[in-house]
């Protein structure tokens, strides 16, 4: 390898003995965090959700800035009102996630096996673990806990 790189063996071994640079240490740390987040998601999160998982808490300020911008320019968010029973975006989003993250990744031998797997996806991953953009990148369980604490004034 030294010949290919045109370096002396003593220089190569001296380089190998040096401690890792700050950048290399940070890269290794982030790689570990990314792998852990990916494994924790059941190996279904893509780069967007992994990126959101690893961002510093502060994205809410961007959201508040956007809301202020919209108000300052007399614009309206393109979202339907809360409680609009005709808006089926939530159901469409759920079934899209279910198909993409679970159903298309498996082959079921029986209907009962499929039912059990869908149940596990919903009860063991989707509700307690899977993060939602609209819940400040918290799972529904975490979001409800946070809301309870907020309501109690903690």
Containing 14, the helix (H) or strand (E) segment is helix 9-17
Say whether pLDDT at 8 is over 70: yes
- Render pLDDT for 105-114 as a digit per residue (tens, 0 to 9): 899 999 999 9
Question: What residues are paired with 140 via a beta bridge?
Answer: none
State the Cα–Cα distance between residues 143 and 129, nearest whole angstrom.
11
DSSP string, 70-119: HHHTT---S-PPTT-TT--HHHHHHHHHHHHHTGGG---SSHHHHHHHHH
Tell me what the mean pLDDT of segment 82-91 comes to.
62
Residue 56 has pLDDT above 70, yes or no: no
- pLDDT by residue (tens digit) across 118-134? 999 999 999 888 888 77
Mean pLDDT, rounded, of the chain: 80
Looking at residues 33-45, what average pLDDT do you find? 82
């Amino acid at each position: 390898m030294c010949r290919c790189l045109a370096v002396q063996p003593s220089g190569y071994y001296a380089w190998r003995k040096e401690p890792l640079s700050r950048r290399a240490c940070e890269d290794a740390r982030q790689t570990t965090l990314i792998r852990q987040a990916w494994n924790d998601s059941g190996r279904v999160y893509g780069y967007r959700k992994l990126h959101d998982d690893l961002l510093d808490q502060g994205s809410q300020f961007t959201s508040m800035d956007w809301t202020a911008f919209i108000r300052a320019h007399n614009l309206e968010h393109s979202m339907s009102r809360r409680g609009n029973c005709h808006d089926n975006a939530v159901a469409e989003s759920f079934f899209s996630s279910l198909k993409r993250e679970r159903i298309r990744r498996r082959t079921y031998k029986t209907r009962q096996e499929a039912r059990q797997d869908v149940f596990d996806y919903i009860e063991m991953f989707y509700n307690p673990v899977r993060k939602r953009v609209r819940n400040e990148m918290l799972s529904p369980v975490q979001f409800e806990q946070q809301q309870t604490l907020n309501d109690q004034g903690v």
